[in-house]
């Protein structure tokens, strides 16, 4: 439906069947394109899980060493970020995803979905994605995408995603990271390097301290 966005669903289905392997040729001889309502009902029976499963089976980084901007120092450059968007104002959507805050006595026009993406920088390919309730914090959402980063990657994120737990979880995946930090975050200089940069320690937040975490996320 994305590739043939200007065509009807019947035409899209016909194109798919026409492009199937030779094993389906005999079936195609007797096959007739169903009506639009039959296609819609079939899609509803299948549900969204099959598309999610297909996504996770197929998507993977595709950049090669010849892809411009795909690698730095031998590391595959990845980026993570989030956004929100409106969805239809239905009871089911409101119950699952929720409305944004509004003035007392009023309600936002539409529920909102929080979307976070893990993207391969060189190809702009979406490697992982997650849709979550609007009320779930962006840091929590993004942290779930770390399931798809691996050794040999360099993960970049914006200042709003900086946290001790984000760094700790990234390093646990044996993934390198490059992240901006908010202006109010001040690192203690531990060692100044020849190029003028310095080494420091990222302090754990209060919740992490209660769990026994200490200074073990080094920053450069």
Q: Domain total for the chain?
A: 2
Q: What is the H or E stretch that residue 100 is in?
A: none
pLDDT digits (tens, 9 = 90+) for 91-121: 999 999 999 988 888 888 999 999 999 999 9
Q: Is residue 209 part of a domain?
A: no
Q: Are residues 101 and 144 in the same domain?
A: yes
Question: Which of 50, 63, 48, 46 is closest to 127 using CA atoms?
Answer: 63
Q: What is the pTM of this model?
A: 0.78
Q: Are residues 35 and 91 in the same domain?
A: no
For residue 7, how far is the Cα from the chain centroid? 29
Residues 6+ apart with CB under 8 A from 39: 9, 10, 13
Q: Is residue 164 part of a domain?
A: yes
pLDDT digits (tens, 9 = 90+) for 118-164: 999 999 999 999 988 988 888 888 999 999 999 999 999 999 899 99
Q: Is residue 92 part of a domain?
A: yes
pLDDT digits (tens, 9 = 90+) for 42-56: 989 988 889 889 998
Question: What CATH number does the domain containing 63 carry?
Answer: 3.30.420
Q: Are residues 87 and 115 in the same domain?
A: yes
Number of alpha helices (DSSP H) and beta strands (DSSP E) in the chain: 8, 9
Helix (H, G, I), strand (E, B) or coil at 133: strand
Q: Are residues 41 and 61 in the same domain?
A: no
Q: Is residue 96 part of a domain?
A: yes
pLDDT-wise least confident of 30-34, 175-179, 181-185: 30-34
User: Which domain covers residue 21, as residue numbers?
Assistant: 9-46
Q: Are residues 128 and 99 in the same domain?
A: yes
Q: Are residues 15 and 67 in the same domain?
A: no
């Amino acid at each position: 439906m994305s590739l043939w966005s200007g065509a009807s669903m019947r035409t899209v289905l016909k194109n798919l069947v026409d492009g199937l392997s030779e094993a389906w040729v005999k079936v195609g001889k007797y096959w007739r394109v169903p009506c639009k309502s039959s296609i819609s009902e079939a899609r509803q029976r299948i549900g969204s899980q099959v598309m999610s499963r297909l996504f996770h089976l197929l998507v993977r980084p595709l950049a090669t060493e010849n892809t411009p901007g795909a690698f730095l120092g031998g590391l595959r450059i990845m980026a993570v970020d989030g956004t929100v968007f409106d969805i239809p104002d239905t009871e089911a959507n409101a119950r699952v995803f929720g409305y944004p805050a509004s003035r007392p006595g009023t309600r936002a026009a539409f529920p909102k979905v929080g979307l976070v993406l893990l993207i391969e920088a060189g190809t702009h390919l979406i490697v992982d994605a997650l849709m979550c309730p609007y009320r779930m914090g962006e840091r929590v959402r993004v942290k779930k995408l770390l399931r798809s980063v691996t050794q040999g990657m360099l993960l970049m994120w914006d200042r709003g995603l900086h946290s001790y737990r984000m760094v700790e979880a990234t390093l646990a995946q044996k993934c390198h990271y490059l992240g901006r930090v908010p202006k109010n975050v001040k690192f203690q200089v531990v060692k100044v390097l020849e190029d003028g940069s310095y080494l420091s320690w990222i302090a754990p937040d209060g919740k992490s301290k209660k769990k026994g975490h200490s200074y073990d996320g080094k920053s450069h």
